[in-house]
A and B are shown apart, each in its own frame.
Chain A
């Protein structure tokens, strides 16, 4: 069965298929790959191709633009240009390499030609998510306009642009300015210097707009609102062109970003060849597999830290082997890795694989030109790699997601993904790199150990469903709004006209009043509200945090600069959870230890030192929810689902040091010295119907834990474990439906939802003071539970883990059935065979209750009922057994 190193001397020649197709098929890969073991671990899916759909250029474009173009426009390009012609905003959500850049390039050309004919000017502001992309696109756009014979100057203006004369010249002379949103936020302060550019602006391009979600997305949404305000001030009324990867809700997402209606163009007219998609779950690791020892050890310190149970060969070892193999067979291959270090390591592992199997890979030189690529390399080196990829001089590249976003490297034969990239849109974006025109392409996904990877590996259909995740952006967070309001007032006095246009009147007036009372704004809306606080409020905007409190990440004194993790600043919530003193974090493949956290200085910092430890740290989190207020609710069968706001007390009080290899704790309950965190946030919660609860309590009454601290005493434990497991699973699978980071969500399963809700206000109109710590809050919750006159509801909360909320729990509220469906599949399909589940299904390493109690079957029962699935056994008869009130439930809750 195990072919081991048996060389298959023959049959290794690249299959000479029809010219240009990928030289090796999925089946051939399975046949030729050495040591391939279990067929059940691999599935090959066929994705059919698509014919090009084109429109003659001269139907859409004026002759001087139509004639020089070498190809006809794809249908979606024509459609988008037509919409822009009709003065509509557009969002183009089509596949990678479908020519989205060309749409706005042509629109810019059209605008410039029309303006010049009138003796005027037309400018465009083009905004990319990264600086690297900005430089790349500057070249692309300039080349394109050169080919059209147009004198349109395209310049990048960002933090790397020389100050002084160069900047002045760009502002005053460029037709197209390329920048990013951190730049726009800053430059709006000096809008008068940009008057020439802004007043003639006819087009604002938001490229890769799907990347603007969560905290970052809402900041971008407000920067865009501020930008629109200044554009209007200078008399400009530009259209917006957004380009997006394929997401579930391009129209909704775009409208939320720019606060205007948007025409969606998502019928892809570009051609695509057929593709084979291989889902590759690495084989089980041989116990005494000497050949693998060096690499697996290295790999586990690297990226397997999160997994307690390591049984299969890690993706970080398997994927480079596939890269090596595909290159050997003549397929130019791009390997996507989750970290810079893994990109580097993968290149080495690819060549080690070749050497170790020298009898198989008879010609060691064949297909061995493989290089790493990531943002840590110099620009020159990256351009060199891009160029050699394009010209075919390289056989393969191992890259971070730096090559996922639009940088032009031509098209590959094959892609390999080291682990599931977390989101379908990202998955498609990456595999879209393979496929030359209409020729056959090959993409291999090597599954890692994580929940999502294993879900995808065992549910391959998930990837082929037409739905893609929704991108979530939300502007309801008042903390973020209030900060941008200060900037807006600083840029231009707030006036009556801003009510409704910038924010709805009531919200605007309340925020203005708040800042006036705080001495930051002065004046009245009728006559203009000016900013009077410390200089440059724009500088205190962190595009990655909701409060101004962001922590700069610094290297400890005396550490070599090359270890600089170059991390974005961290929000306070993140610092408390993941960057307490003593924490060991993995960033871009390098381990760092947090050696200092300064919470108090005006510029809070986290200080890191690179380390090489055989353990990682895991924070224990206590959570409770207080004063939840329902703002919306809906029935799902007999269940009630709520969305609202409330206070969440989070206390990351202790942490464990966990052995990297065994996943066993080495040291537990080390204090973090953190203060508790109280956040006002958005949440949603599900109330389980009483009858179902009674039935399930009865069914799982026998469930108990070997725990000594008393909670095991109750007959409710099995049911509570079901709620707890369902809470973990719904949060765990949320990224399958929505573009959310699971780490931005938290949850709480409870037998007494009512005691987490806001109580009637006292006679004096004041609410009690906030509990100062989680223990006090929990005591309050229990006290409320004891005082309840009716039997409370049970269920679970899901909340946004960022002060003010991110819109994630609202999105979950709206998509609850889909999320619950995924959760049910995840739990029911997991083959761990344990009542309390495993890390791949319902265990969560952030759990504040040490993953106890968890009950998979009870969770599946709850979810089945919610989804209206016919349950095999009737539950109701049990329910009658239980006497109402005879078995009062304990106020248990688990985060």
Chain B
């Protein structure tokens, strides 16, 4: 998290700030290290803004409270990197010229890389089978035609990235392109092209409670990552939900260190906290603070006794896959890696599966497979695809012993993990794994292959192969660290150690919600 180019902008929904202790916000700051903090509009939240400014060292801004008197102001993020902040659509409507000039001010040191406007949002009218862009007319009037301007908004969830071409005259939607990450060209001089990127909270199982981190460089927004609010502060501790965290905060217990200083007997006084739960909180807080995993039971690791399992990971073309186009297998016995990839005929999912099965059943008939969250993803899709495309291998495939390390540790509760989330990369990172830094995630690699499917434009195979291999090796790293981890003790006498960046969450939604999650 430390060595990086560019700058980092934290987009905070007011709900993530209000009613949470300053210490939790400080934990957010310490973990994510933003260069600037954007408290999302469009609602004016003066109290939340005051708290934000107090809790973060980095400069903070809140578009509805921009006081420059201008409808648009410039917000420096880092030397040479600026964004333009529009107070509201109404301000934009009143004086569109101000924005055009702010965006192309010749006296200014640089051109803003993006425009912030939280009023910009999409509106879906299912009855008409139409989605419109709120603010299209204002944007068309204010933004320069003939080029692409990035508009960042808390009005749509993080991950949203669509290129809207608007008629410069009226703001009428000419077309919308769905893969600006691959191709982001303007549509002509009579067109205002707006690349709308969402930074708002993403709806998950627990409602919409995430915050977003934008990686910015001089070319624009390089990435938007999301973090659950439960990754920070006390809620990062397994068993501490928002309610308990609030009650603890009332008793001035606001950090994990303070939690560890609170005796188990006292914790059991809180509603819904039993003795086991209190011990578990202590143990997990310790793991988070020390960065050392702990096993909770005497249960052996999956396949611990026999030959080490083969570490497997698959890449698909989406969450409802039509092809499993890359299957990577890492063999810890001889430190070898093997990838099965469909590079030629993406319309036929069978060859990759057949190659995997041929190799697996011929060369490693007795080996078990290991995955991270495979029961919900890898095995689930492999099972369905084998049954459908190489049915003659169904019985053998079903008889292969399959293990899921995530399932064993988290769902079955045999171990406590450090790491900000239970995503493999976070857990492996917290356990000292040095990633290959391919800059990819599951969603990106899926999108890249989907593009290949459609255009047959070759992708950077080596990079995508490295990404898959990295996950397989990271999995083995976690396995080894868990194998060597001691059992947690029942006392809370571990003194909290300095453990930079070692925050985590013990809770996970029941299911993979995006390819980026694992």
Contact = CB atoms under 8 A, between A and B. Distances in A.
Interface of A: 192, 195, 199, 233-235, 478-479, 482-483, 489-493, 495, 507, 510-511, 513-519, 522-524, 526-528, 530-536, 547, 602, 680, 764-765, 803-804
Contacts of A534: 202-204, 513
B205 A522 contact: no
A193 to B, nearest CB: 8
Contacts of B400: none
B306 interface: no
A768 B407 CA distance: 57
Contacts of A527: 317, 322, 346, 450, 453-454
Nearest to B381: A192
Interface in B483-518: 509, 511, 513-514
Contacts of B511: 535-536
B178 A522 contact: yes
Nearest to B131: A517
B380 A519 contact: no
Contact of A528 (B162, B202, B317, B509): B317
B320 A530 contact: yes
Nearest to B124: A518
Contact of B453 (A513, A528, A803): A528
Contact of A478 (B128, B447, B514): B128
A511 B162 CA distance: 16
19 contacts: A192-B384, A195-B383, A235-B388, A478-B128, A479-B126, A483-B126, A490-B320, A491-B320, A510-B130, A514-B131, A515-B131, A516-B176, A517-B131, A523-B318, A527-B346, A527-B450, A527-B454, A532-B319, A765-B172
Closest 5 CB pairs of A and B: A530-B318, A534-B203, A517-B131, A527-B453, A479-B126
Contacts of A491: 320
Given A528-B317, A530-B320, A519 B159 contact: yes
A199 B322 CA distance: 18
A754 B124 CA distance: 30
B157 interface: yes
A507 B159 CA distance: 26
A528 B514 contact: no
B394 to A, nearest CB: 10
B207 interface: yes
A195 B450 contact: no
A567 B179 CA distance: 45
B399 to A, nearest CB: 16
Nearest to B133: A517
Nearest to A235: B388
Nearest to A525: B454
A514 B129 contact: yes
A546 B198 CA distance: 28
Nearest to B127: A680
B321 interface: yes
A527 B451 CA distance: 8
A524 B129 contact: no
B387 A510 contact: no
B433 interface: no
Nearest to A603: B207
Interface in B350-366: none
Interface in B367-401: 380-381, 383-384, 387-388
Contact of B320 (A195, A531, A547): A531
Given A514-B124, A516-B176, A518-B124, A507 B129 contact: yes
The CB with the most chain B CB atoms within 10 A, among A479, A507, A518, A536, is that of A518
Nearest to B156: A519
A495 B198 CA distance: 27
Interface residues of B, number: 45
Contacts of A536: 511
B61 interface: no
A531 B319 contact: yes
Contacts of B450: 522-524, 527-528
Contacts of A764: 170
The CB with the most chain A CB atoms within 10 A, among B124, B126, B205, B322, is that of B126
Nearest to A489: B320
Contacts of B156: 519
A528 B450 CA distance: 8
Nearest to A645: B127
B126 A482 contact: yes
B126 A478 contact: yes
Given A479-B127, A493-B320, A514-B129, 6 more contacts: A199-B387, A489-B320, A513-B176, A519-B162, A528-B453, A764-B170
A492 B380 CA distance: 13
A49 B425 CA distance: 76
Contacts of A533: 203
B160 interface: yes
B127 A493 contact: no
B435 interface: no
B320 A804 contact: no
B198 A478 contact: no
A828 to B, nearest CB: 39
A514 B204 CA distance: 22
Contact of A511 (B129, B170, B346): B129
A495 B322 contact: yes
Given A492-B320, A535-B511, A526 B157 contact: no
A21 B30 CA distance: 87
Nearest to A647: B127
Given A519-B122, A526-B454, A535 B205 contact: yes
B129 A192 contact: no
Contacts of B133: 517
Interface string B141-170: 000000000000000110110100000001
B122 A518 contact: yes
Given A527-B453, A527-B454, A532-B514, A516 B162 contact: yes
Contacts of A517: 122, 131, 133, 162, 176
B504 to A, nearest CB: 22
A532 B318 CA distance: 9
Contacts of A482: 126, 129
Nearest to A539: B205
B129 A530 contact: no
B319 A195 contact: no
Nearest to A509: B129
Contacts of B514: 532
A515 B514 CA distance: 17
Interface in B219-264: none
